[in-house]
């Protein structure tokens, strides 16, 4: 569900998502707080770049609800790789990754 959420947001703002500068690209360790310091919230008359920050802020806010939740987004040549990891105490693992790869 979380992977599909950010993918839907990227498809709605496709021009920014496909930019060579990696509009939606973030690494593990980026937090919602990091995005908030980039100018969130933008509620009306937002530029496409402000929509990216708002999308990432909202998405990371959901991801961070998972125990130790972190997200990563990489878009290269129109292909998005969404990675989400969290602490899964049931398996004894320190983090359990979930990866989705799809065209935008």
- Strands of the chain (E only): list them: 70-76, 79-88, 93-103
Identify the helix (H) or strand (E) that includes residue 54: helix 48-63
* CA angle, 76 then 41 then 18, to 5°: 15
Tell me which residue of 99, 3, 6 sits closest to 52, measured CA to CA. 6
Helix, coil or strand: residue 23: coil
Tell me which residue of 75, 102, 57, 61 sits closest to 16, measured CA to CA. 75
Tokens, residue 40? 């969130």
Total-model pTM:
0.89
For residue 41, what pLDDT is reported? Answer: 66
73 falls in which pLDDT band (50, 70, 90)?
very high
Model pLDDT for residues 1-55, shown as the tens digit of each residue: 999 999 999 999 999 999 877 789 999 999 999 888 776 667 788 888 889 999 9
91 falls in which pLDDT band (50, 70, 90)?
low
């Amino acid at each position: 569900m979380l992977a599909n959420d950010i993918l839907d947001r990227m498809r709605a703002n496709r021009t920014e998502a496909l930019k060579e500068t990696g509009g939606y690209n973030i690494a593990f360790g980026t937090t919602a707080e990091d995005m908030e310091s980039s100018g969130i919230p933008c509620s009306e008359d937002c530029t496409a770049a402000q929509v990216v920050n708002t999308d990432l802020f909202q998405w990371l806010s959901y991801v961070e609800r998972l125990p130790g939740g972190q997200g990563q987004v990489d878009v290269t040549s129109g292909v998005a790789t969404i990675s989400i990891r969290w602490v899964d105490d049931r398996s004894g693992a320190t983090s359990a990754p979930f990866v989705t790869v799809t065209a935008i």
